[in-house]
Copies of this chain bind each other. A is one copy, B any other.
Amino acid sequence: MLSERQMMILRAVVRDFTNTGVPVGSKALAKQLPIHVSSATIRNEMAALEEQGLIKKTHSSSGRIPSVEGYRYYVDHLVKPDPLQPNDMDVIQSSLGGDFHKIDEIISQSATILSNLTSYTAFTLKPELKDARLSGFRLVPLGRRQVMAILVTDGGDVENQTFDVSEDVKGDQLEAVVRLINDQLVGLTLPEVIKKLQLDIPVQIANYLQSPTGFLDIFGDVLTRAAQERFYVGGRLNLLNFSQDSDVDSLKSLYSLIDQSDDIANVLGQPSDNISVQIGNEMTNDALRNYSLITATYDVDQHGKGMIAILGPTRMPYSRMLGIVGAFREELAKKLLDYYRFYDE
């Protein structure tokens, strides 16, 4: 249990350290704090805080820096999100102000805005109606030997891919395949489709085509791409700003983590209604040991919920970041509601 004064000190330590990156000592705090006590008193309190594992020294006679637990306590009990800078609000509104013709453009743009505002790396996921179902599949012949496969879900997601077919594949064969898929698979959730695709379909499709594997591969490709959570990343390179000292290998593994769409959903964690902060080794993933992740859901009513997140150093200025993330998710939700309102009715 912390006294008022200890909280004040912990708050100041976190503030100072996240701003300057330098361990903070008792003297500096004594000057800075609103109450009037000597540095010796502060030293005593700091010893108590260290006792509880909230702050620590970098070496035996250094100032203190927050431990992961200290950050945790700060984030849970002490921090107050900064109100957004008017300037930042302008940036958001003008960047989101344009005319968009795709949800994905808005979401992808959001990742960029968020990374610019924070100068960290940002992630955005679009609102996901869970259990999206397959609502349509087409094969569109494009020329002598090209066909485009298009898959649509009832959530409005579209996935497509062009591929080459040898010319002896007849148009009516293609149609037969499309009819088969639409008859058998439309209305199912994507995982169900994937399952059926491996069991029932190959047998049936063999009736129409001599070498069916090609088509199934294609359809499978498009399908799995549609099934996996898509996310956008903004400010990838910002990682370089604050990882300078850390070695190349850990940077590389971090980048491959970011580019690997499978893992990212796990990393971001379950959507919750609150803004959540994961600090350093609280995350299971080793590559994130020295980073913090702020995630937040945004809510677009019946169109589902999406997520935004920023990834920065453990010593990020949490109050400012929480302010930005909080404000941004509101703006994004508004924008999306507008967008849906326009195209829906």
Which B residues lie within 8 Å of A136 (CB)?
Answer: 142-143
The complex places the Cα of A255 from the Cα of B143 at a distance, in Å, of 36
The complex places the Cα of A167 from the Cα of B218 at a distance, in Å, of 31
Q: Say yes or no for A158: interface residue by CB 8 A criterion.
A: yes
Q: What's the least CB distance linking A259 to chain B, in Å?
A: 9
Q: Say yes or no for A140: interface residue by CB 8 A criterion.
A: yes
Which B residues lie within 8 Å of A218 (CB)?
Answer: 101
Q: Say yes or no for A152: interface residue by CB 8 A criterion.
A: yes
Closest to A154 in B: B143
Q: Is there contact, CB below 8 Å, between A343 and B152?
A: no
Q: Which of A69-77, A224-232, A244-252 contacts B (4 or more CB under 8 A)?
A: A244-252
Q: Is there contact, CB below 8 Å, between B214 and A237?
A: no
Q: Say yes or no for A165: interface residue by CB 8 A criterion.
A: yes
Q: What's the least CB distance linking A324 to chain B, in Å?
A: 22
The complex places the Cα of A244 from the Cα of B101 at a distance, in Å, of 42
Question: What band does the interface of chain A fall in when counting residues whose beta carbon is under 8 Å from B?
Answer: 35 or more
Q: Is there contact, CB below 8 Å, between A166 and B237?
A: no
A-B contact pairs, 10 of them (CB 8 A): A101-B165, A101-B217, A101-B218, A102-B163, A136-B142, A136-B143, A146-B158, A148-B160, A167-B345, A244-B248
Q: Is there contact, CB below 8 Å, between A102 and B138?
A: no
Choose among B146, B150, B167, B345 the residue that contacts A152 (Cβ–Cβ < 8 A): B146
A125-156 contacts to B, CB under 8 A, are 135-136, 138, 140, 142-143, 145-146, 148, 150, 152, 156
Q: Is there contact, CB below 8 Å, between B143 and A140?
A: no
Which B residues lie within 8 Å of A290 (CB)?
Answer: none
Choose among B237, B252, B256 the residue that contacts A255 (Cβ–Cβ < 8 A): B237
Which B residues lie within 8 Å of A217 (CB)?
Answer: 101
Which B residues lie within 8 Å of A162 (CB)?
Answer: 102, 158, 160
The complex places the Cα of A150 from the Cα of B99 at a distance, in Å, of 21
Choose among B142, B156, B165 the residue that contacts A150 (Cβ–Cβ < 8 A): B142
The complex places the Cα of A164 from the Cα of B336 at a distance, in Å, of 13
The complex places the Cα of A142 from the Cα of B103 at a distance, in Å, of 15
Closest to A147 in B: B101
Q: Is there contact, CB below 8 Å, between B143 and A148?
A: no
Q: What's the least CB distance linking A28 to chain B, in Å?
A: 29
Q: A301-345 interface mask toward B, CB cutoff 8 Å, 1 = contact, 0 = none? A: 000000000000000000000000000000000000000001111
Closest to A104 in B: B162
